Amino acid sequence: MSIVLDKPDTAGGERGPELSSLGLTMYRFSAWLKSPRPYLMLIGFAIVLGFWYLAVEVLQLPRFESMPGLTEVFREWFSKDPIYGLSIYTPEYYTHIGISLRRIAYAFLLATVLGVPLGLFLGWSKTFREFVFPLFEVLRPIPILAWVPLAIIMFSGSESPVIFLTFLASFFATTLNTMLGVESIDESYSRAASCLGASRWQVFKHVVIPGAMPYIFTGLQISIGVAWFSLVAGEMVSGQFGLGYLINTSYMMIEYPKIIIGMITLGIVGFATSAMVRAAGDYMMQWRVRELALVD
């Protein structure tokens, strides 16, 4: 399948403007709907939900008999008068989502602002990498939960430690993928630009940054995912409100349907934030979107 990206030649022999970004997006969405992918996705969801229903409510398999069933969870989730006090009709539900989203936004923005430039310079300057990268690699494998005591000591209140813990994992993922993106660029491009008279800064601006962008946005998609993972861990230990706090307190209060509601909500909101990062990447890399449209 291919797509014509240019309008027909005008009377003067000049080619018309390329298809707009909205047109490309609509084309790719239409191609996605015509492909088997959305239907396979629905089948995958149906298999998981069907197994959940059969394992818990019908067969009552070992290790599953104490879990909340599919019908119990969805009845609670969409009830106007929920038994455990949490559903799509209760303000508390949206309070948890809003606070978690706010913490993610702060941590992800900070990780992007600091991680992308650091990763660019780590990949671009060998001297800078020799100074910084060994320390980076020593700190990166430390689990987020190991930082919890220090985070509580260093930051006052309940918000700052959670944001710091969320920032850490996101920062490492963003920085590492950005550095790998710079290292993946063929040196012949930089040499060619230098031979044409480009300064070192111009090479960095016009060759290195655009060349690393696919890796940067791949890293940002990974970053937003690990940010949610770290956020839940932080909220379980040091948070007040938030989806991680909801899951932890529901377990302690033996309100198991609320645990599943919190987990599903995390998945939905996390998927939405990843899609937003992906859309931002497509908007900033129109050349890549056109390339993908041509090979679909």
For residue 4, the model assigns a pLDDT of: 42
pLDDT, position 269: 92
Would the pTM of this model clear 0.75, i.e. be above it?
A: yes
Cβ atoms 246, 258 nearer than 8 A: yes
Q: Which domains does the chain have, with CATH numbers?
A: 76-295 (1.10.3720.10)
3-state secondary structure of 18: strand
pLDDT (tens place) for every residue of the chain, 296 residues total: 334 444 444 444 444 444 555 666 666 667 767 777 778 888 888 898 888 888 888 888 887 877 888 888 888 899 888 888 888 999 999 999 999 999 999 999 999 999 999 998 888 888 888 888 888 889 888 888 888 888 888 887 778 888 898 898 899 999 999 988 888 877 777 777 777 777 777 777 777 788 788 888 888 888 898 889 888 888 877 667 888 888 888 888 888 889 999 999 999 999 899 888 887 777 776 655 555 544 45
d(CA 148, CA 83): 34
Q: What is the DSSP string of 214-236?
A: HHHHHHHHHHHHHHHHHHHHHHH
Give the Cα-Cα-Cα angle 33, 34, 37 (nearest 5 degrees): 65
For residue 281, give both structure tokens: 């990447």
